[in-house]
Amino acid sequence: MVDGRVVKLELYSLGLCAVPAEIGQLTSLTELHLHNNQLTSVPAEIGQLTSLEWLSLSRNQLTSVPAEIGQLASLKVLYLGGIKLTSVPAEIGQLTSLEELNLEHNALTSLPAEIGQLTSLKWLNLEHNQLTSVPAAIRELRAARCYVDLDRGVTVDE
């Protein structure tokens, strides 16, 4: 806590099945650790956490994340590994402060072209998905010194 405000919330490995919509009221939150639970959804109100810099939702039962995740303008680290994710919302491209994005061990078959708008990205992990190709924008990320982890055989679109 800083000045009576919650800035970091660690609720990992607790077997949680849901996150209440009231999470959006914690507007001073800079870190939210919800990994290794049983979450099946994340409320849209997560988009109200505009001070959030670190979000970990890895190792849950999620198949999607809300489009409102694109409203997290301060976000620098986003871990979505091992959550059965089948798609990434195009709004992810709005996270221009994002430096680390972990999407490993999911069921992704494609990525939105908007991923190329993540101009601050330094590390992108796409390993262990069902991707056969990735958007051409990945080339631009690599040129901007972003390290991209891909499985062998995944091609970059022209």
Domains of the chain, with CATH numbers? Answer: 1-84 (3.80.10.10), 108-157 (no CATH)
Across-strand partners of 102? Answer: 79, 125
Structural contact between residues 86 and 109, judged by C-beta atoms closer than 8 angstroms: yes
Low pLDDT (below 50) residues in the chain: none
CB-count exposure of residue 39 (10 Å: 0-12, 13-18, 19+): buried
Q: What tokens does 141 get?
A: 């990320």
How far, in Å, CA of 34 to CA of 25, rounded?
Answer: 17
In 3D space, the residue among 55, 15, 4 whose CA is nearest the CA of residue 39 turns out to be 15
Note the pLDDT of residue 3. Answer: 55
Note the pLDDT of residue 4. Answer: 62
CB atoms within 10 A of CB 5: 12
Residue 85: what residue type? L
